[in-house]
Amino acid sequence: MSSTKKLVLVGNGMAGLRTIEHILKLAPHAYEITIFGAEPHPNYNRIMLSSVLAGGTSIEDIVINDWNWYEENNIRVYPGDPVVQIDAERKEVVSESGVHASYDELIMATGSSAFILPLPGANKEGVIGFRDIKDCETMMAASQKYRKAAVIGGGLLGLEAARGLLNLGMDVTVIHINGHLMDRNLDLPAGLMLQRELEEQGMKFLLNKHTEEITGKNRVKSLRFTDQTVLETDLVVMAVGIRPQIELARQAGLDVNRGVIVDDYMNTNIPGISAVGECAEHRGIAYGLVAPLYEQGMVLAKRLAGAATEGYEGSVTSTKLKVSGVDVFSAGQFKDSPDTRSIRIQDDVDGVYKKMVIRDGKLIGAVLFGDTTDGASLFSLIKSGEDISGREKEILLGVPSGGSGAGPSVAERMASMPDDEIVCGCNGVTKATIGDAVLNKGCNTLGAIKSCTKASASCGGCKPIIESLLTHYAGDNVGEQVKEGICGCTSYDRDELVAQIKEMGLKSVKEVMNVLGWNEPEGCSKCRPSLNYYLGMIWHTEYEDERVSKFTNERYHANIQKDGTYSVIPRIYGGVTSPAELIKIATIAEKYDVPMVKFTGGQRLDLLGVQKENLPKIWEELDMPSGFGYGKALRTVKTCVGNTFCRFGTQDSIEMGIRLEKKLDKMVAPAKVKLAVSGCPRNCAEATIKDLGVVAIDGAWELHVGGNGGVKVRAAELLCTVKTDAEVEEWTYAYLQYYRENARWNERTAAWIERVGLDHVKTALEDRDVRLALVERLEATLGRTVDPWKEIIEDENLRKNFTPLASAQNAAH
């Protein structure tokens, strides 16, 4: 009989998954693990959502554990399927979709939700919180249709939301109930300096304002305040705090207050049930910052793995403003009181403010604005509780002061820091992890540590302390920081890599990484797929196509969905099908109990809810090419009926669209590519928001390039006007090949055109001999036959020997 116990995690967020990661390290075979998550996403870094909203980071970039991580660790995961019932007596949970899972140990990690003020009108369309990926997507979509946004809450989260909305082009007003911004983290002088800086960036502020009502019929139109003034707005973002999600715990009989009450070992009042993260309340405190939650996760993991632990005793917290282009740091008890003394400097000209709060000779709080270099060392002093008497000015100002001596140096403070202290709060990296990377893995530069441990890879606020630890561990062996390339695994950028591959005749991903001295022998999810693409772009079919360096969706020719099933999209050229083809698709959908068949925006049929094990059989029986609704490749060629049927049509758009799609249907690219052909200037196929759009005019064709219809809409620009169908094909193929050869991996044509300029592309393509050479190179790479069902079977054998990469779950059709 197996001794493996069953562990169920309720919640797929940062605290719960960090706990699981530690359990897997400490006792990898102790538990059979099942995870239920409310969101249809893998575990991601929630504190980086502000960077996603601000436009500096993609959703893919903030994923911590991709879908393959769950599979590789034999974890059964149910994304988008939250637990709705816990039977503590039977030790069983039931999910929203009806999944029953028994457990020996249950971890509650349900997190928290955005607190929505109970105002009249708070349920109107356009009123949201700022808590998850869906909120980000809602704000991005609103910015495309509306102009004015109001953020209620002038704290850290509210200002990050406001900065993101400002970047999206909205007119943003922040409403705050108190007299200065971030009053829970900053004192008045720092708050005023922050307000001035943000006003210069374009933010507007209404302070000491109490919202009374949200007005509008269905969608929000304005905010009315208690002083009867009114602010017109199209979007309201509530950023007034979070509320631990405890209702499920309450129904299960767990003791709750503000959160689920836990002891120092994260036990609840019911044996076998633990709680961790934002939903947990420890010694009367429910933490909302990541560092304390990771500390809790470490304690819980040790207990569940049977390792010794001293328990969790609470945390001193610090705050850093990450995305507003302003350096702000706050830690500990920063407000003055009768039993404290303060030392501060304020420079309004250069925008610098520093303050230390001291009680009984110990540093208990600090505020930094404009220059946060000393934040990490001050935070270390706060946590250590050492006596700084006589050294106050030296610590804050960097000048000697009279007193009892110099006190501990930076090196001494690094040496005395506990090994399990988290030094990178965003990614939960401890001092011991940094030490291991330097001493045992040869990481002797900041870039190498970042690549190996993820420390300083997110907000960057911990960079000074990471550099101090690097010096502490490496001493004179600290290496010279090299520039980062396409990822942390290499210093080569895109152009240098392409040049090296050509010059040395490198023909496989492994060969590139070995010859060019990759820092990580297996590479990562950024470099492996990009290298595989660059090799194909350079050598056409004369290279080793490494399928294990592709994302899961590309390897299975299907999009993974939130419930773990897949979406299958066969190629339907130009959106034109036949009765026989429709019957075949319908028959297969019935045979395999496909839950939904949907027409896509690209004029195709999508079979949704396909089980993974049925993918090879479905593709074989369809006997149709894959529509690549998941890959960095040609997705669709959308057409209108043109002059075939339409009385306004001037050209045969259907025939042109099908010709282009059949020619290009196996074309891979740096990013997804969408085409459209409209039979007249009425543009029913929406050709002017595509990567390449062909629009018929009287006696000629216009080619428009660099369009995008996604979150960031961009109208395409006119590349050229040609008279013949042959010229349409020549310019289309030449343009796409020039894009393939010159764009960066994961760079859409819209971003590429904005970077290099349309005039540059026009100049590059004006010589017909150059165009024909580009067409020839494109044709050389399009000869590969793709049989999805054969590739999936082959992949099942190959992937056992490699580390697969993350699913491109958010790839749109």
CA–CA distance, 539 with 511 (Å, rounded to integer): 14
CA–CA distance, 804 with 133 (Å, rounded to integer): 24
Q: Determine if residue 489 is labeled as part of a ligand binding site.
A: no
Looking at the chain, the number of H-run helices and the number of E-run strands are 27, 38
Beta-bridge mates of residue 693: 676, 704
Beta-bridge mates of residue 805: 551
Q: Say which amino acid occupies 196.
A: R
626 neighbors 577 (Cβ within 8 angstroms): no
CA–CA distance, 69 with 81 (Å, rounded to integer): 19
DSSP state of 668: B
Q: Determine if residue 487 is labeled as part of a ligand binding site.
A: no
Give the strands of the sheet with 566-568, arranged side by side: 559-560, 566-568, 605-610, 596-599
| Environment class of 297 (CB within 10 Å of its CB; exposed 0-12, middle 13-18, buried 19+) | buried
Torsion sign (Cα): 206, 207, 211, 212: negative
Q: Determine if residue 524 is labeled as part of a ligand binding site.
A: no
CA–CA distance, 279 with 13 (Å, rounded to integer): 11
Q: Say which amino acid occupies 768.
A: R
CA–CA distance, 10 with 109 (Å, rounded to integer): 6
Q: Determine if residue 136 is labeled as part of a ligand binding site.
A: no
405 neighbors 390 (Cβ within 8 angstroms): yes
Measured N-to-C along each axis, helices 446-453 and 431-440 cross at an angle, to the nearest 10 degrees, of: 110
As a residue count, the chain comes to: 813
CA–CA distance, 93 with 711 (Å, rounded to integer): 38
Strands (E) across 491-556 are located at: none
Q: Which two tokens stand for residue 510?
A: 């492994």
758 neighbors 706 (Cβ within 8 angstroms): yes
Vertex 257, ends 256 and 260: CA angle to 5°?
40
- CA-to-CA dists, residue 473 to 251, 466, 481, 488, angstroms: 50, 11, 16, 21
CA–CA distance, 295 with 293 (Å, rounded to integer): 5
Q: Using the structure block, give the residue that is written with the tokens 């920081």.
A: 481
Q: Say which amino acid occupies 274.
A: S
636 neighbors 625 (Cβ within 8 angstroms): no
| Environment class of 743 (CB within 10 Å of its CB; exposed 0-12, middle 13-18, buried 19+) | buried
- CA-to-CA dists, residue 329 to 42, 196, 262, 351, 354, angstroms: 30, 17, 30, 14, 10
Q: Which two tokens stand for residue 578?
A: 């036949």
| Environment class of 629 (CB within 10 Å of its CB; exposed 0-12, middle 13-18, buried 19+) | buried
Which residues are annotated as part of the binding site for [4Fe-4S] cluster?
Answer: 640, 646, 680, 684
The annotation places the binding site at 640, 646, 680, 684
Please give the annotated binding residues for siroheme, written as ranges.
684
